[in-house]
């Protein structure tokens, strides 16, 4: 079985030595080989993506499909920030869940919350069909997301019930309040679940929304770029073709330049993730 192409980059803190990038490119690597390589001692492996949690959770001897959960604040956040990676995982036979904190209730000018919610829910469902992901809608309201004791419990319960191997969510330094809240809720659940899954952060509209985002991992999405676009463009109510060309296309190309491929998505891996590859 061939695993996705990916690239990884380790950026050493500038107070230790000047900025140093260490790329390791891996192409068409079998699951078996990856599992072998995951035994490399901590620090020696400047790569790290899919399979390590398999070993870390004690299932080295046989292949295991992973559960990937992506939690975004609004319909279109998982797709734009992480859609290529989601498609690659799904293509490899892993289970992919696209979770939306809200249904984008405030996101269509001139429409009531109820109307917008219906339209954007359907758009997300269409996008999930393209990505071969299962959609889940949590119960917050677009523009009014909140952090309360009950909301912490809600996210904890959701992630506990999904029992994922890897979770992707927003980076918490973001101009959109809902994105920040989504990130903090997921982070809190990760702590409460004893860091029981790998935690990665994705970026959306970097500069305008996500800020101060120094990637630790890149995924080469060149082979699925058209499918990612198809998923994103399901969000017609968001004028996505225009938004995409203004923001996300530049990001994909820039991250691709950094990772030495045509198009890439970039992530920050929490360095206390279970597998502790870095």
Name the residues that contact Zn ion, by CB under 5 A: 73-74, 77
Residue with tokens 């000047």: 18
Tell me how far, at minimum, the Cβ of 191 lies from Zn ion, in Å: 23
Yes or no: say if 105 and 74 are a contact pair by the CB < 8 Å rule. Answer: no
The phi and psi torsions of 151 (rounded to 5 degrees) equal -70, -35
Tell me how far, at minimum, the Cβ of 119 lies from Zn ion, in Å: 16
- C-beta of 94 vs 176, nearer to Zn ion: 176
Tell me how far, at minimum, the Cβ of 107 lies from Zn ion, in Å: 8
Tell me how far, at minimum, the Cβ of 72 lies from Zn ion, in Å: 6
- C-beta of 77 vs 203, nearer to Zn ion: 77
Residue with tokens 């492996």: 45
> Quick check: helix, strand or coil at residue 40?
coil
Closest CA to 237 of 70, 115, 138: 115
- C-beta of 74 vs 228, nearer to Zn ion: 74
Let me know the angle formed at the C-alpha of 219 by 218 and 220, rounded to the nearest 5 degrees.
120
The phi and psi torsions of 265 (rounded to 5 degrees) equal -110, 145
Residue nearest to Zn ion (CB): 74
- C-beta of 73 vs 138, nearer to Zn ion: 73
Q: What is the CA radius of gyration of the chain?
A: 18
- C-beta of 55 vs 77, nearer to Zn ion: 77
Tell me how far, at minimum, the Cβ of 169 lies from Zn ion, in Å: 12
Cα 222 to Cα 219: distance, rounded to the nearest angstrom: 9
């Amino acid at each position: 079985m061939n695993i996705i192409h990916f690239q990884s980059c380790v950026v050493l803190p500038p107070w230790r030595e000047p900025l140093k990038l260490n790329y390791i490119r891996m192409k068409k690597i079998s699951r078996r080989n990856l599992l072998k390589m995951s035994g490399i001692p901590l620090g020696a492996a400047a790569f790290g993506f899919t399979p390590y949690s398999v070993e870390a959770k004690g299932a080295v001897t046989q292949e295991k499909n992973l559960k990937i959960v992506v939690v975004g604040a609004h319909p279109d956040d998982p797709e734009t920030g992480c859609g290529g990676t989601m498609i690659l995982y799904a293509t490899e036979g892993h289970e992919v869940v696209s979770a939306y904190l809200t249904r984008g209730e405030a996101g269509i000018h001139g429409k009531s919350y109820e109307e917008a919610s219906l339209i954007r829910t359907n758009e997300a469902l269409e996008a999930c069909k393209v990505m071969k992901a299962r959609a889940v809608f949590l119960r917050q309201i677009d523009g009014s997301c909140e952090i309360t004791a009950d909301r912490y419990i809600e996210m904890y319960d959701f992630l506990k019930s999904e029992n994922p191997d890897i979770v992707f969510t927003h980076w918490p330094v973001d101009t959109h309040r809902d994105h920040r809240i989504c990130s903090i809720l997921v982070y809190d659940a990760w702590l409460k679940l004893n860091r029981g899954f790998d935690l990665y952060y994705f970026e959306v509209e970097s500069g305008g929304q996500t800020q101060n985002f120094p990637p630790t991992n890149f995924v080469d999405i060149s082979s699925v770029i058209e499918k990612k676009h198809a998923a994103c463009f399901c969000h017609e109510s968001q004028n996505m073709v225009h938004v995409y060309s203004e923001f996300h296309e530049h990001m994909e190309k820039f991250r691709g330049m950094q990772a030495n491929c045509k198009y890439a998505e970039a992530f920050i891996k929490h360095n206390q993730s279970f597998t502790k590859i870095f």
